[in-house]
Structure 1
Amino acid sequence: MYTREGAFDRRLVLVDIENVVGGAVTMAGQVHAAQAAIEVVVSPRPNDHVVLACGRSSVRTVGFEWAGPRRLRFRSGIDGADLELLDILESEHVGERFTEVVLVSGDGIFADAISRLALRNDTVVTVVSRPGACSRRLRMAAKRTLHLDYDPNATMEVA
């Protein structure tokens, strides 16, 4: 059984990196730019538990290029990354283990799980997404929504 005592000031940061970059991650520069943009908005803390999710085709680039501690989940299919993060939200007692949850994605598939977490008075739920890329249902489910300054078309690999 989980208790809230150990959850004091613990934050879970769930990142659908393909949602941030606008598709499969094929270049190191995409990961570096996405991580930098996320860190500006999220302001990393030493005790953050970061989980990255992506499709199978992106896992090598994401796994090698993301700097710092993180957990990496991947799954094939159009909604593979979403389903991996949704599995964490629904099966890992997130509300009991963390005082704050940050979801970096704009996909509406998370709306119900985020809504359930947001209903807890002791869990702060934040959604971070590119402007115009966040579903209305997800925005309404979260306690707050922050905009990510990342242009998927601006990232270029330096040769």
Structure 2
Amino acid sequence: MYTFEAALNRRLILVDIENIVGGGVSMASQVRAAQAAIEAAVGSRPSDHVVVACGRFSVDTVGFEWAGAHRLKFRSGIDGADLELLEVLETERVGARFPEVVLVSGDGIFADAISSLALISGTSTTVVTRADACSRRLRMAAKNVLHLDFDPNAFMEAA
């Protein structure tokens, strides 16, 4: 049932999964490990709205392996996932609908959108990223920055 209190606790979680795993996603274990690391960092609430973005070649693996309710967005190109998530931030009235936004990425392309959310609508912003993969601009734009315990090299297949 929808209540005002439930609306106050809504959180939008935007996941650039390829940024977390260090490239294209080809193995189910990458998705499961990334999701587990994200949930360990920020927890999981029934009211969370999760949007997962990836490139065109990762969409099958990500779409089928991400557990729980989520919205999947994908686009071709080197910045395809970034552009899909930016579109959500810029066109879906995020600041009016969510008191908290969690961005799981380290890409500087999000710095202006994250900064605007906090300044214009007072939305609490958190960036979740690998310690070695976050731009300085994005770190400075977010209210909070959390580091994931995730090693993308652990998933290299044997030759």
Which residue in 2 is equivalent to 1:107?
A: 107
Unaligned 5+ segments in structure 1 are: none
- Structure with the higher helix share, 1 or 2: 2
| Higher relative contact order structure (alpha carbons within 8 Å, sequence separation ≥ 6) | 1
**Matching residue's letter, 1:142:** A
Q: C-alpha displacement at 1:7, in angstroms?
A: 3.7
Task: Tell me the C-alpha RMSD between the 2 structures.
Answer: 1.7
Contact 2:31 2:66 in 1 (8 A): yes
The separation in 2 between residues aligned to 1:88 and 1:138, in whole angstroms, is 17
Q: Structure 1 residue runs of 4+, over 6 Å off? A: none
Q: C-alpha displacement at 1:118, in angstroms?
A: 1.6
Which residue in 1 is equivalent to 2:91?
A: 91
TM-score for both structures, normalised by structure 2: 0.93
Q: C-alpha displacement at 1:8, in angstroms?
A: 1.1
Which residue in 1 is equivalent to 2:135?
A: 135
Q: C-alpha displacement at 1:123, in angstroms?
A: 1.3
Which residue in 1 is equivalent to 2:58?
A: 58
The separation in 2 between residues aligned to 1:115 and 1:124, in whole angstroms, is 10
The separation in 1 between residues aligned to 2:23 and 2:81, in whole angstroms, is 11
Number of residue pairs aligned between Structure 1 and Structure 2: 155
Which residue in 1 is equivalent to 2:68?
A: 68
Which residue in 1 is equivalent to 2:81?
A: 81
Unaligned 5+ segments in structure 2 are: none
Q: 1:5 to 1:39 in 2, by over 3 A?
A: closer
Q: C-alpha displacement at 1:120, in angstroms?
A: 4.1
1:119 alignment partner, SS class:
helix
Identity of matched residues, %: 74
Which residue in 2 is equivalent to 1:28?
A: 28
Contact 2:12 2:98 in 1 (8 A): yes
